[in-house]
Amino acid sequence: MNKTWMTKFAGITDIVVGGLGTVCSLYSLMYTLVIHGGREWSYEEPITLMFAIPLLVFGILAMVGGVYALKRARWGWALTGTIATFLLLFVLGVAGMVLEIPIPLSYLVVLPGIAAIVFTIITRNTFQ
């Protein structure tokens, strides 16, 4: 059975979600540090920073793992990327609930991350 579509799904999911997380993180950091840098902080700025830094780390790990998943090389890095994708989506979902951002069914945003983890584990034999 041809399992290459599973690694492609996992790799593309990792890269797209990682890019989204990196952009959200950089926007949050820029907005918090640059725009709010000259005035007193309210309760939202530390919360924003608390979510922005893990988003940046998970986003970079997810993109690196996605590249390795697409190449079907270094299964450990590909698995790390898919786990980072899951954690990134989890952090985005929790941030949506904490900051009361209207993300419909924000707890379901982790489903692509779970699918990417399962597909990466199933296709371990196809990696070099």
104: confidence class by pLDDT, cuts 50, 70, 90:
low
Q: Letter for the amino acid at 119?
A: F
pLDDT value of residue 23: 87
pLDDT value of residue 36: 66
**Residue range 46-100, pLDDT digits in tens:** 777 777 888 889 889 999 999 998 888 888 998 898 988 888 888 777 776 666 6
More confident residue, 5 or 34: 5
Question: CA-CA distance, 10 to 67, in Å (whole number)?
Answer: 10
36-47: b or e for each residue (b if 16 or more CB lie within 10 Å)? eeeeeeeeebee
Per DSSP, the residues of 14-68 read HHHHHHHHHHHHHHHHHIIIIISTTS---THHHHHHHHHHHHHHHHHHHHHHHHH
Output the pTM of the full model.
0.81
pLDDT value of residue 68: 92
Q: Where are the domains of the chain?
A: 4-126
pLDDT value of residue 113: 80
Q: Which span out of 3-12, 28-37, 64-73, 95-104 was modeled with the highest average pLDDT?
A: 64-73
pLDDT at 109 over 70: no
pLDDT value of residue 72: 87
18: confidence class by pLDDT, cuts 50, 70, 90:
confident
pLDDT value of residue 63: 92
